[in-house]
């Protein structure tokens, strides 16, 4: 079942890269007591994700924070090493937290997986974004296959 506005974010564990190596991040803790803008991409270093999606959130980080967002996060079904390298190469440090969903547990738990087998990607997370307030989804934007509009930083700014 796909998650909906008003639902609590499911309990899963992400992984983020730190100076000391990969570190587990419990979703319950990550989303607790703050407003988080989180977006999911099918894969790090993929064309739309690298050219538009992540750069949009990096560029609009200050504007999102000015509208009450405490933290911006990007997730993908990639490992923490890849997500860390992608964030570093894109200049995301200090603006967007890169959360690896290596086994796709978060994507599965929210019911937003896609089959990227045709492209050699296997099961991935769909392109979507959410505004999560103290663990509860207040906005959910799921893209149609191949689209990139609703999950953008610009669209999210209009929702705040």
What separation in angstroms does the CA of 35 have from each of 16, 67, 103, 104? 19, 10, 25, 23
Distance CA 96, CA 76 (A): 13
Is 74 marked active-site?
Answer: no
Which of 3, 9, 49, 80 is labelled catalytic?
49
Q: What does the angle CA 54 – CA 119 – CA 18 come to, to the nearest 5 degrees? A: 40
DSSP 8-state class, residue 119: G
* Active-site residue set: 49
């Amino acid at each position: 079942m796909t998650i909906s506005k008003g639902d609590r974010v499911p309990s899963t564990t992400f992984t983020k890269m730190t100076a000391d190596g990969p570190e587990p991040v419990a979703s319950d803790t990550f989303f607790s007591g703050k407003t988080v803008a989180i977006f999911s991409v099918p894969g790090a270093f993929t064309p739309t994700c690298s050219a538009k999606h992540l750069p949009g959130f990096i560029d609009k980080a200050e504007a999102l924070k000015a509208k009450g967002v405490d933290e911006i996060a990007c997730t993908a079904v990639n490992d923490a090493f890849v997500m860390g390298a992608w964030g570093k190469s894109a200049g995301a440090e200090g603006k967007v937290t890169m959360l690896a969903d290596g086994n796709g547990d978060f994507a599965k738990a929210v019911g937003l997986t896609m089959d990227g087998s045709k492209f050699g990607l296997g099961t991935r997370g769909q392109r979507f974004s959410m505004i999560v307030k103290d663990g509860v989804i207040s906005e959910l934007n799921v893209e149609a296959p191949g689209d990139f509009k609703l999950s953008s930083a610009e669209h999210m700014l209009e929702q705040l």
